[in-house]
């Protein structure tokens, strides 16, 4: 359903200013990365490849109407006001710049930003098992703020990271609002659904750990680990805990939803996916099925294979090979494998995963499909059903991060299903069912927001390095050993950052102490959260 009040005169398939801003937001960090990490003779050709890959938006102005309306956003001033207000408020509560309570992952994330500001790039940490070690992580989220920090200092970098996060959240809200009529009630409804979208975690918690859960629960409890081995994070949890993983997936899905048929966007998809990989490789992995589905559908519809022309994807692939070689350095230290039948109880594993899928996505997805039939929603549900069959990372990061695009699909589809007119009483009742499910799911983000409101903000540790903040550990999620890999010959020389103090002053995580001390929540209840969330691998 497209916005009948869109103010642009461009055809629906043409990229508009909102698309260009979103693509610029996604691709700016990889450009900084290429220039900052690699020797000039590598960086310059790769930047030429990036410029070539982005040519559809760099030359779009000449191909579109020269009239003033062609440069206006495809949203009204009302929608823009709502998106900015909600996006900024949502981000502020997430604790990105520590003006409100920041969740435990920010302890490590702050240290990553410190190292990117304090050290020349690439950042090195000295010898590990006889090999040079370096910061190896999806760093896209940090780089614009880190670049600001190199000029204006670390404190300003934290402010810049808050602004950067709010910009991404606002852009996603604008993408969703651009699909809807410009009415205040609709804009507020859509924003509420985006902020409060979640699976039925409260039902899972009551079913799996009822008496103990009711005894231990308080309004600040983090309930998304009710399944034990995996979680699908609510939209607010994603923004509050892992915007570095979420924003790239959200904005790419927003582009696909806004332009189901666009030759211009198809030309840009290779570089967008490559850029998303530097934001979060696991989230990018979750994007690939939607991109392949789109390309296959368009190729079948047009009876043309022009989208697989090397001139379209080869320049982005060159950049992707370099970024991938960096991201997969030293992969052997990450746990991975098949998640079912590991302890000879295949049936129980499958039953637990079926319960997890139904409560986290299946029931809500079925309600959406009754109201808003969509191949994207069906594909998202298939992905969410299959993801828990395998694991990667100590906190099963694959399930949490690769699910982000599919959950964004369900979020947008929920918005569209709720605002579409009900043609009869039966359809009205179906909308009531979907709204009821979303209200039950909203318990999860309400608790995340309550924690941000009720717990005090804690200050940034402005001196802790990544190693110091992790109590002297070299986390395999953030630190890799560099041997004789070819990528090492392409990068600039590493700069060893002094590791700094590694005692309690650096590695103590204030977020956990505040969560432990709040209300009557016992430490025993939070220990599973510490064992998973407290590790930088979940950041």
**Token pair of 328 as six digits:** 């997969």
Instruction: Please tell me the distance from the alpha carbon of residue 480 to that of residue 211, in angstroms, as a whole number.
Output: 44
pLDDT at 420: 85
Query: Which residues on adjacent β-strands are paired with residue 131?
Result: 128
Positions in the chain short of pLDDT 70: 1-13, 60-71, 304, 306-307, 332-344, 393-395, 518-539
Task: Give the burial string for 187-219 (b: 16+ CB within 10 Å, else e).
Answer: bebbbebbbbbbbbbbbbbbebbeeebeebbee
Model confidence over 64-75: pLDDT tens digits? 444 444 457 899
pLDDT at 516: 77
Instruction: Please tell me the distance from the alpha carbon of residue 327 to that of residue 140, in angstroms, as a whole number.
Output: 12
Query: Taking each helix axis from N to C terminus, what angle separates 375-386 and 363-371, rounded to the nearest 10 degrees?
Result: 170
Q: Is the dihedral of CA 457, 462, 466, 467 positive or negative?
A: negative
pLDDT at 254: 97
pLDDT at 470: 92
pLDDT at 119: 96
Q: Where are the domains of the chain?
A: 76-261+290-304+330-539
pLDDT at 532: 42
pLDDT at 71: 58
Sheet containing 123-128: give its strands across. 479-482, 131-135, 123-128, 495-496
pLDDT at 217: 79
Long-range (24+ apart) CB contacts under 8 A made by 363-368 are: 363/200, 363/437, 364/199, 364/200, 364/410, 364/414, 364/434, 364/437, 364/438, 364/441, 365/410, 367/417, 367/430, 367/433, 367/434, 367/437, 368/410, 368/413, 368/414, 368/417, 368/434
Q: Identify the residue whose tokens are 């869109």.
A: 6
Q: Answer for the pair 180, 419: CB distance below 8 angstroms, yes or no.
A: yes
Q: Answer for the pair 91, 83: CB distance below 8 angstroms, yes or no.
A: no
pLDDT at 167: 98
DSSP reduced 3-state for 133: strand
**First-to-last C-alpha distance (Å) of the chain:** 35
Q: Answer for the pair 443, 212: CB distance below 8 angstroms, yes or no.
A: no
Backbone angles phi, psi at 130, to 5 degrees: 80, 0
Q: Apex CA 493: angle with CA 488 and CA 498, to 5°?
A: 115
Instruction: Please tell me the distance from the alpha carbon of residue 174 to that of residue 18, in angstroms, as a whole number.
Output: 8
Q: Apex CA 172: angle with CA 515 and CA 21, to 5°?
A: 130
Backbone angles phi, psi at 122, to 5 degrees: -70, 150
Query: What pTM was computed for the model?
Result: 0.91
Query: Which of 163, 137, 46, 132 is CA-nearest to residue 495?
Result: 132
Q: Per DSSP, which regions of 57-193 are E strands?
A: 123-128, 131-135
DSSP reduced 3-state for 127: strand
**Token pair of 382 as six digits:** 């298939």
């Amino acid at each position: 359903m497209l916005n009948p009040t869109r103010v642009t005169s461009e055809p629906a398939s043409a990229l508009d200013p909102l698309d260009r801003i979103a693509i610029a937001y996604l691709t700016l960090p990889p450009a900084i990365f290429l220039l900052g990490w690699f020797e000039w003779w590598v960086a310059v050709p790769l930047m030429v490849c990036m410029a070539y890959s982005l040519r559809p938006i760099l030359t779009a102005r000449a191909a579109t109407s020269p009239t003033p309306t062609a440069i206006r956003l495809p949203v009204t001033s009302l929608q823009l006001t709502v998106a900015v207000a909600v996006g900024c408020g949502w981000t502020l509560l997430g604790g990105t710049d520590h003006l409100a309570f920041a969740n435990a992952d920010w302890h490590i994330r702050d240290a990553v930003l410190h190292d990117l500001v304090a050290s020349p790039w690439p950042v090195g940490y000295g010898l590990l098992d006889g090999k040079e070690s370096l910061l190896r992580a999806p760093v896209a989220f940090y780089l614009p703020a880190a670049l600001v920090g190199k000029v204006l200092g670390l404190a300003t970098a934290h402010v810049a990271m808050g602004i950067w996060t709010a910009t991404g959240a606002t852009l996603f809200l604008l993408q969703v609002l651009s699909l809807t009529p410009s009415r205040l009630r609709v804009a507020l409804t859509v924003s509420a659904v985006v902020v409060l979208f979640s699976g039925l975690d409260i039902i899972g918690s009551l079913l799996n750990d009822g008496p103990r859960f009711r005894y231990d629960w308080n309004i600040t409890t983090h309930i998304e680990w009710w399944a034990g081995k995996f979680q699908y994070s609510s939209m607010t949890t994603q923004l509050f805990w892992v915007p570095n993983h979420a924003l790239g997936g959200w904005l790419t899905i927003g582009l696909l939803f806004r332009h189901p048929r666009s030759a211009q966007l198809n030309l840009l998809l290779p570089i967008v996916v490559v850029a998303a990989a530097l934001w979060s490789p696991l989230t990018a992995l979750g994007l690939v099925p939607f991109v392949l589905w789109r390309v296959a559908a368009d190729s079948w519809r047009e009876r043309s294979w022009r989208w697989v022309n090397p001139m379209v994807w080869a320049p982005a692939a060159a950049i992707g090979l370099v970024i991938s070689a960096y991201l997969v350095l030293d992969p052997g230290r990450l746990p991975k494998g098949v998640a079912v039948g590991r302890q000879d109880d295949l049936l129980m594993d499958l039953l637990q995963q079926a319960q997890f899928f139904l409560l986290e996505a299946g029931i809500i997805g079925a309600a959406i499909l009754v109201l808003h039939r969509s191949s994207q929603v069906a594909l998202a549900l298939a992905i969410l059903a299959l993801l828990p069959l395998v694991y990667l990372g100590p906190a099963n990061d694959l399930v949490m991060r690769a699910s982000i695009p599919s959950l964004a699909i369900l979020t947008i589809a929920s918005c569209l299903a709720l605002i579409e007119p009900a043609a009869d009483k039966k359809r009205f009742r179906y909308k009531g069912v979907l709204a009821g499910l979303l209200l039950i799911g909203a318990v999860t983000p309400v608790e995340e927001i309550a924690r941000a409101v009720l717990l005090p903000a804690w200050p940034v540790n402005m001196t802790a390095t990544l190693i110091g903040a992790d109590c002297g550990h070299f986390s395999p999620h953030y630190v890799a050993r560099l041997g004789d890999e070819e990528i090492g010959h392409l990068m600039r020389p590493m700069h060893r950052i002094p590791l700094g103090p590694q005692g309690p002053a650096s590695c103590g995580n204030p977020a956990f102490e505040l969560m432990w001390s709040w209300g009557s929540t016992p430490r025993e209840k939070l220990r599973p959260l510490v064992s998973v969330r407290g590790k930088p691998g979940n950041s």
